[in-house]
Every structure is written in C-alpha cells, then in structure tokens.
C-alpha cells in the first residue's frame, strides 16, 4: 500500500470545506491519511485515535466529503481519485472493496496491475554490501528461473558468453576487460558472489565493474590461481555444481 497521501487545494480550500467546523476539517485530514489505496477507511478507529466526535463524521457525510458505508463506520472518501494518484502496479486492493461496490456501484476504482519492474539493476551501496534491488533467485520448474548457470552456444553473430544467469550473461571480451582492470581474484570474487546467491539483474558488465571498484578498496578477496583459459578453478567448480559439469 502506498505510504503517501495527498490533498487537493480545490477540495480543502473550497468554501464548502472551510465552512465546516474545524473539528470536522481535522477529522477529514486524518481520514484521508489513514485511508487505503481505494480511499476506504475505518472511521471509528480514527475517531477514537484522535478523540474526535462522531458528529464530525456526520457533518462530513452531509457535506458530501465522505460516505458512510455501514454501521461500523467504514467510510469512503468521495474525492479520493481526484486527490490521490496511485500507480496501478503499486496498488493494494481494499479489504472493503466489495462493500464499496455494493453500496456505491457508481464509484470507479483503480484496477490493480502486476508490477513489471520487479528486477532492477543497481550498483553497490555506500557500505559495500550488495544492493537489495538485485533480487535473489527463487525455485521454480525451469532452470533459468531457479537461477542456474548455463553455457550459451557460440554463434558467429555474437560475442561468446562465458557466464550466464537466466537471460543475463557476461561475454569473454567483457570478462577479460574486467580482469585487466581489476585483477582476476577481484573479478572472480564478485562473479562468484553473484552466481551463488544468485543476484538476478547483476550479471552484467556495468554492475560487476561497480562492485569490483568497491571490493578492490574495501573487501579482502583471497587470491585465486590464474588459468590461461580465462576461467578460475573456483568458478569452474561453481558452474559444475549448478549444471552438472556443463563448464567442464
């Protein structure tokens, strides 16, 4: 549920609003602040919280600012959609949604949509820890959705990917560039951390470069034996564990 609530000046500075008692105006602000994403609020709890009077709620109802939906004082804020713009993919449906639709069927509610940005790419935080925006892998039926590492077949049209996590991959040229810039132990340490979690959205040149910069100065990474093939034995072992020796 969204944490921010907004008020429109066309509502709270109107003559219709300002002619009400100050106690009723105050109750209105608290009702809006406590309303859910559909503009519904349990007014009885708010009234007791701020020690208001039910008469103030009746004034708001009579003036058309709210509608009381039942005897438990579940209340709908009439100008909700005008004052609060909530993203459909951030919206959480009200537990009183059906009550509102039955009582005020003419009210048009915002339809909830699934989020399309669950995975975000990000660099390291100031303290050197992995960003929380890099989602951890979850178990599912498919290999890629489980975060398993796979080798991508080489094609003439593309650079050769040497590490892959789902739809993300790091090419051999990118890997060699990172090793040249930061040293093999640093790069292998960061890649190994990404693959072990796994951190989805992070197996890319930009993110690895940022984390290598952070780790080079703030993290002690044990030296690893250098191999001419361009792969560390530690990452080879990790790859074999994840997909039965596909890197072997």
Give the whole-angstrom CA distance, residue 210 versus residue 214: 6
Domains present along the chain, CATH in parentheses: 9-103 (1.10.10), 144-243 (no CATH)
pLDDT score for 166? 78
pLDDT score for 115? 63
Question: Does residue 87 contact residue 93 with C-beta atoms inside 8 Å?
Answer: no
pLDDT score for 237? 61
- Give the Å distances, CA to CA, from 178 to 79, 172, 194: 55, 10, 15
Give the whole-angstrom CA distance, residue 51 versus residue 39: 22
pLDDT score for 209? 87
Sequential pLDDT tens for the chain (248 residues): 556 788 989 999 999 999 999 999 999 999 999 999 888 999 999 999 999 999 999 999 999 999 999 999 999 999 888 888 878 777 788 899 889 888 888 888 877 777 665 545 454 444 445 555 465 544 444 444 444 444 444 444 446 777 887 788 888 888 888 888 888 888 888 888 888 878 888 888 888 888 888 776 565 444 433 433 444 555 656 655 555 544 44
Residue 20: count of CB within 10 angstroms of its CB? 18
Give the whole-angstrom CA distance, residue 110 versus residue 93: 9
pLDDT score for 240? 56
Residues 6+ apart with CB under 8 A from 209: 178, 181
Model confidence, pTM: 0.45
pLDDT score for 239? 55
Structural tokens at position 176? 């060699």
pLDDT score for 85? 81
Give the whole-angstrom CA distance, residue 138 versus residue 147: 7
pLDDT score for 233? 59
pLDDT score for 101? 87
């Amino acid at each position: 549920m969204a944490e921010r609530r907004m008020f429109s000046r066309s509502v709270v500075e109107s003559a219709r609003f300002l002619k009400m008692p100050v106690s009723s105006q105050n109750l209105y602000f608290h009702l809006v602040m406590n309303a859910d994403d559909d503009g519904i609020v349990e007014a009885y709890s708010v009234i007791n919280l701020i020690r208001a009077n039910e008469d103030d709620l009746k004034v708001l109802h009579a003036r058309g600012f709210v509608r009381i939906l039942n005897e438990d004082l579940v209340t709908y804020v009439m100008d909700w959609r005008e004052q609060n713009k909530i993203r459909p993919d951030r919206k959480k449906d009200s537990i009183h949604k059906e009550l509102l639709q039955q009582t005020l069927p003419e009210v048009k509610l915002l339809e909830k949509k699934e989020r399309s940005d669950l995975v975000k790419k990000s660099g390291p935080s100031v303290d050197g820890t992995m960003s929380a925006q890099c989602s951890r892998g979850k178990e599912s039926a498919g290999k890629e959705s489980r975060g398993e590492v796979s080798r991508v077949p080489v094609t003439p049209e593309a650079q050769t990917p040497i590490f892959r996590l789902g739809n993300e991959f790091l090419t051999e040229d990118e890997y060699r560039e990172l090793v040249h810039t930061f040293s093999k132990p640093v790069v292998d340490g960061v890649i190994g951390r990404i693959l072990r979690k796994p951190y989805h959205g992070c197996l890319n040149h930009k993110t690895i470069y940022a984390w290598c910069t952070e780790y080079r100065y703030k993290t002690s990474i044990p030296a690893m034996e250098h191999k001419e093939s361009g792969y560390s034995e530690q990452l080879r072992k990790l790859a074999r564990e994840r997909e039965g020796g596909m890197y072997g």
